[in-house]
Amino acid sequence: MSEAIWVKLLDTLPGVLWVAFAATVYFTLRRTIIERMVPRVTAFRAMGVEIELASQLLDRAVTESDSAISASDRSTALGRLEHAAEFLRGGRLLWVDDHPEGNRALIDFFRAAGMTVDLALSTEEAVPYARRRAYDIIISDLDRDGDPRAGIRMLRDLERHDVHTPVLIYTGRFDPERGVDRRIFAATTAPIALVHYVIDLMERARLGSL
């Protein structure tokens, strides 16, 4: 065999060896790569479904509350939900309201995000729930059964039973100039604001800031 042919063979050898090495690595790790990638892709697809459902429920909640929301605010809330999904999933929420049907879209919204949402119609129902179960957040109205301070009275009952779960007030009528009780993390009349507050609290709880 001529010297020129040997030179060409030697020149091509590194490339052949590299292809052989890459093929060996691929076939050796192929199963591991697939096993790791498939759950991740499945999770992304599932999250896409969750976000689409959450988008529809948020729009419904805004419509039912007669509040206004800009396209920018809507996009920001859904973007936060997508990025904070891991913090919300598995969270526990107690919602206290004597008319829960008015909150149905938001209740379904948080459930679609992977949270457990328990409902209580009164303080008498809510306090035993809060004492028996570990909730991440309590959402409550203010006015129940003709008592405009029912929600505030519930806070005192929670304190007496040493329940320190963060409380969000979600109500149709709220005057921010009157201030909020020391046990209230935040109060709002807007669905979009409530979503942000829940995400804030869940992020803090998961990151150990509460």
Mean pLDDT of 178-198: 86
Report which of 64, 47, 55 is spatially closest to residue 114, judged by C-alpha positions: 47
pLDDT single digits (tens) 150-176: 998 999 999 999 999 999 999 877 665
Mean pLDDT (whole number) for 12-37: 51
Mean pLDDT over 176-192 rounds to: 80
Could you list the beta-strand ranges (E) of the chain.
92-96, 116-120, 137-140, 167-170, 184-188
Cα 155 from Cα 151, distance rounded (Å): 7
Q: What rounded mean pLDDT belongs to the chain?
A: 78
Whether 181 shows a pLDDT value over 90: the answer reads: no
**What is the arithmetic mean of pLDDT over 96-108?**
92
Dist CA 9 CA 40 (whole Å): 44
Integer angstrom CA distances of residue 2 from 5, 8, 117, 161: 5, 10, 81, 95
Q: Which residue has the tokens 């201030």?
A: 179
* Residue 119 banded pLDDT, cuts 50, 70, 90: very high
Stretch 139-144: mean pLDDT, rounded? 92
Bridge partners (DSSP) listed for residue 138: 94, 167
Q: Using alpha carbons only, give the angle 188, 100, 117 rounded to the nearest 5 degrees.
A: 85
CATH code: domain 49-207 is 3.40.50.2300
In this prediction, residue 83 carries a pLDDT of: 83
Tell me, yes or no, if the pTM score tops 0.75: no
DSSP state at residue 144 = B
Q: Give me 33's structure tokens.
A: 């790569």
Mean pLDDT of 114-122: 95
